[in-house]
Amino acid sequence: MSETIIFYVIVGLVGLLIGLSKGGMGAVLIVLTTPLLSLVMTVPQAISLALPLLLFADGFALWVYWRQWDDHYIRLLMPAAVLGVIVGTILLATLPELVLRRILGGFTLLFVGYRVFSYRLLAWNYQSRNWHGYVAGAASGLGSALANTGAPPFTAYMLLQRVTPLVFAGTTTLFFAAVNLLKLPGLVLAGLFDVRNLLETPWVLPLVPLGVWLGRKVIQRIDQRAFETLLLILLLLAGLVLILTVPQPN
């Protein structure tokens, strides 16, 4: 009974976190979802369950930021992102569970490091090159397919382009909506997408728009720095748990 309660609490929390992220509270919340779900299921199952929730949330985000993106960056990054998604899906389907947990833990810790030092990007005397976009697109597609951690390379690249906040948000929304949609056929073909997971948890879907609404409300009142610091501490702990612990065999 206690394990069942923990399962429902974590799945519900993940749905809320996805909505909060799309409501403006940052990609750090998305990164937290897969480590949380992996506490109660395998990494492939976690990716499979999170994907429909992400696609559902992307619909709301696209409506909010419709046509606010920069087509140049979408065209530049997406071809490499497609390759990254393909490679990430193959690895997800073939690597042992223990290896996937270690990789997920490593991606999580890398995200923490990125967020701690990302402010330095804004002070960098940077000269943009097209191949930077190719690398960022491929890394984002790989990280998203393998562990839902595609935000750091994409965000780092876009920060260096110094676009307006609205264009930044719109381009981010369209890019990851497309990446998430690209992940679906691969998961289905690899036999990793189990629609029963979603059918067994339909009550999670309303938590996504609720999270979007709460995100819009909370972001105006909360101390963003303190909030993100708390989340980074949680991510650090989650990454260490994934790397240092061994899952019990079923």
Establish if 250 belongs to a structural domain. no
Alpha helices in the chain (DSSP H): 2-20, 28-37, 43-64, 71-94, 97-117, 130-147, 151-161, 165-189, 195-199, 207-218, 224-244
- Are the beta carbons of 167 and 73 closer than 8 angstroms? no
Establish if 143 belongs to a structural domain. yes
Q: What separation in angstroms does the CA of 231 have from each of 53, 203, 209?
A: 20, 25, 21
Establish if 29 belongs to a structural domain. yes
Instruction: Specify the range with the lowest mean pLDDT, choosing from 47-51, 187-191, 231-235.
Output: 231-235
Domain count, the chain: 1
What is the model's pLDDT at position 82?
A: 97
pLDDT in tens, 69-115: 999 999 999 999 999 999 999 988 888 878 887 887 787 787 777 77
List the domain range (segments joined by +) for residue 125.
2-244
- Are the beta carbons of 208 and 60 closer than 8 angstroms? yes
Establish if 223 belongs to a structural domain. yes
**Cα maximum dimension of the chain:** 57
- Number of C-beta neighbours around residue 102 at 10 A: 15
Q: How confident is the model at residue 231 (pLDDT cuts 50, 70, 90)?
A: low
Establish if 174 belongs to a structural domain. yes
Of 15, 24, 13, residue with least CA distance to 217: 24
Establish if 173 belongs to a structural domain. yes
Establish if 249 belongs to a structural domain. no
Tokens of 88: 């990430």
pLDDT in tens, 175-219: 999 999 999 998 888 888 877 777 777 888 899 888 888 877 776
Cα angle 105, 110, 113 (rounded to 5 degrees) comes to: 130
Task: Supply the pTM of this predicted model.
Answer: 0.80
Establish if 110 belongs to a structural domain. yes
Query: For the stretch 10-39, what's the b/e string if a residue is b when 16 or more beta carbons lie within 10 angstroms of its beta carbon?
Result: bbebbbbbbbbbbbbbbbbbbbbbbbbbbe
